[in-house]
């Protein structure tokens, strides 16, 4: 049997994703993804109250269950004593504690006492950066009243940096600080003012010379509201929202987008090429594509995996305003929409007119009616789910159902490669991340009482 056929059989038997259901208390639980057993793969920890439960794939029960001390504030995971077993390091009141992660009931070890900015904290424990490595020695980075202190696990002061009101701009112990995507909910009706704000804060922190080097990211695009997209059509290209098409230098390629004035329901795209170090750049001609742009706040699709981000649009037949049309809409609870992808053709410096893939689905009619600002889909996933380096498409097709379509050589499948109906409505996406470094994506969704982990079950190659 050929390896590819074997792979296919595994996929058919096992399904594309495995669904794991984990207890969750909305407002009292928080998630902590880390490598808890130092095998270079991430596990999912859930802190509820003062209990940390750690879950692995294919095990419904937690593989580790650790009680955190009362008033624990920040929690980090690291092999603090370099003995080959990871430790929970946490701040509880004035205590800096370490708990070795073992199957037996682990007893907290008090490393040292120091009054710090977390000392008065009484809320839910939360994940944060507490440890940094300096010259192969793990140190505790502890924010105190006026200084960020670096201390050894015996409590000896190694270094300190002044911090204050604008400390974030002057100092950072390293990633994941300073990187976030912020997208507020959209409020208001279709014709109301749009209160949707999307911002990325990027600045060069004033770091001491011996601090960790931080990569400074370039601006990753400009999300445009429906109103901005409409207004852009009559403005110069500098006003158009855009996203990056490539990540490579020396020429930066941007896709500028706007809502075409006519025909209605079309998107106008211009490709802008900016040579490295040259602010001017060249903007190509306007090309129209049927459909409206569909964007994910933190991910861009490269469906064919060629290194260039592809164009993703949605469209639908409009509800006819005739008596017949309205009557038909009123009796239907769902409405059909299409998702269309166009490949970027680098040799032509434009998106191909012929779609590279198309998905048809029915969504709840109220979602369609409310599709003015951001499109009718409330939650979409643009990640490589199966590890073949091609982006796959997923979305909630109703408040309780997720569906995922793999992108393959010939485009998307006619029906979803994976779909799952949950027993209740989903409230939010908790994270979308590659847990085992194989280029696949685990998706975590939550409801009021459960955390659902959708883990990739198999791995495809091209």
By the criterion CB under 5 A, which residues form the site for Ca ion? 35, 37, 39, 41, 79, 81, 83, 85, 87, 302, 304, 306, 308, 310, 384, 386, 388, 390, 392
Asked whether 98 and 80 are in contact (CB, 8 A), the reply is: yes
Shortest Å distance, C-beta 279 to Ca ion:
27
Minimal distance, residue 382 CB to Ca ion, in Å: 11
Q: Provide the minimum distance between the beta carbon of 455 and Ca ion in the complex, in angstroms, as a whole number.
A: 13
Helix (H, G, I), strand (E, B) or coil at 61: coil
Nearer to Ca ion, 208 or 437 (CB): 437
DSSP SS3 for 224 = coil
Instruction: Let me know: does 77 contact 34? Beta carbons within 8 Å.
Output: yes
- Smallest distance, Å, CB 407 to Ca ion? 6
For residue 417, the minimal CB distance to Ca ion (Å) is: 10
Distances (CA, A) of 360 to 289, 357, 378, 412, 413: 17, 10, 16, 10, 10
In the complex, least distance from residue 390 CB atom to Ca ion, rounded to whole angstroms: 4
Question: For residue 128, what is the DSSP state?
Answer: -
Give alpha helix (H) positions in 268-339.
Answer: 323-331
Nearer to Ca ion, 120 or 438 (CB): 438
Closest to Ca ion by CB, 85 vs 186, is 85
Of residues 265, 261, 281, the one with CA closest to residue 273? 281
Q: How far is the CB of 36 from Ca ion (least distance, A)?
A: 6
**Nearer of residues 167 and 247 to Ca ion, judged by Cβ:** 247
Cα–Cα distances in angstroms (integers) from residue 200 to residues 178, 179, 203, 223, in the given order: 10, 8, 10, 10
Name the minimum Å distance from CB 392 to Ca ion. 4
C-alpha span between 257 and 274 (Å, rounded): 16
* Residue with Cβ nearer Ca ion (3 or 277): 3
DSSP assignment letter at 186 = P
d(CA 221, CA 102): 44
Cite the beta strand spans of 415-457 per DSSP E.
418-421, 428-433, 442-446, 450-456
Closer by beta carbon to Ca ion, 35 or else 94: 35
When the beta carbons of 296 and 390 are compared against Ca ion, the nearer one is: 390
Nearer to Ca ion, 18 or 35 (CB): 35
Q: How far is the CB of 88 from Ca ion (least distance, A)?
A: 10
In terms of Cβ atoms closer than 10 Å to its own Cβ (0-12, 13-18, 19+), residue 122 is exposed
How far lies 249's CA from each of 158, 272, 281, 293, in Å? 40, 14, 13, 26
Please give the Cα distance from 47 to 117 (Å, whole number): 21
For Ca ion, the closer of residues 344 and 368 by Cβ is 344
């Amino acid at each position: 049997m050929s390896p590819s056929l074997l792979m296919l059989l595994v996929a058919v038997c096992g399904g594309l994703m495995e669904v794991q259901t984990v207890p969750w208390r909305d407002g009292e639980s928080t998630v902590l993804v880390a490598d808890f057993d130092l095998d270079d793969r991430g596990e999912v920890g859930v802190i509820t109250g003062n209990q940390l439960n750690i879950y692995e794939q294919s095990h419904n029960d937690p593989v580790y269950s650790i009680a955190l001390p009362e008033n624990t504030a920040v929690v980090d995971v690291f092999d603090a004593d370099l003995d080959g077993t990871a430790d929970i390091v946490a701040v509880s009141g004035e205590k800096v504690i370490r708990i070795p992660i073992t199957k037996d009931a682990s007893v907290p070890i008090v490393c040292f006492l120091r009054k710090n900015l977390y000392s008065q904290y009484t809320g839910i424990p939360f994940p944060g950066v507490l440890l940094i490595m300096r010259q192969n020695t793990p140190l505790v980075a502890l924010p105190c009243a006026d200084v960020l202190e670096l201390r050894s696990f015996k409590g000896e002061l190694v270094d300190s940096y002044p911090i204050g009101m604008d400390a974030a701009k002057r100092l950072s112990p390293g990633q994941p600080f300073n990187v976030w995507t912020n997208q507020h909910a959209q409020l208001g009706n279709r014709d109301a003012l749009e209160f949707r704000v999307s911002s990325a804060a990027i600045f060069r922190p004033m770091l001491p010379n011996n601090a960790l080097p931080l990569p400074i990211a370039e601006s990753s695009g400009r999300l445009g509201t429906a109103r901005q997209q409409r207004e852009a059509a009559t403005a110069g290209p500098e006003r158009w929202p855009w996203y990056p098409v490539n990540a490579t230098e020396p020429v930066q390629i941007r896709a500028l987008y706007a809502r075409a004035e006519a025909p209605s329901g079309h998107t106008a795209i211009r490709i802008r090429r900016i040579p490295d170090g040259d602010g001017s750049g060249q903007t190509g001609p306007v090309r129209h594509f049927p459909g409206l742009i569909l964007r994910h706040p933190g991910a861009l699709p490269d469906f064919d995996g060629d290194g260039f981000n592809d164009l993703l649009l949605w469209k639908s037949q409009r509800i006819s305003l005739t008596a017949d049309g309205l009557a038909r809409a009123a009796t239907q609870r769902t409405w059909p929409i299409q998702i269309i992808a166009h490949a970027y053709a680098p040799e032509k410096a434009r998106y191909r007119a012929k779609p590279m893939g198309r998905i048809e689905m029915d969504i709840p009619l109220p979602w369609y009616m409310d599709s003015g600002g951001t499109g009718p889909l409330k939650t979409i996933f643009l990640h490589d789910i199966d590890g073949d380096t091609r982006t796959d498409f997923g979305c909630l097709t109703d408040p309780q159902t997720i569906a995922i379509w793999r992108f393959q050589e010939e485009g998307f499948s006619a029906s979803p490669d994976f779909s799952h109906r949950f027993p209740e409505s989903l409230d939010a996406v908790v994270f979308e991340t590659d847990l085992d470094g194989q280029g696949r994506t685990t998706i975590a969704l939550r409801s009021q009482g459960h955390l659902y982990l959708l883990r990739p079950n198999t791995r495809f190659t091209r």
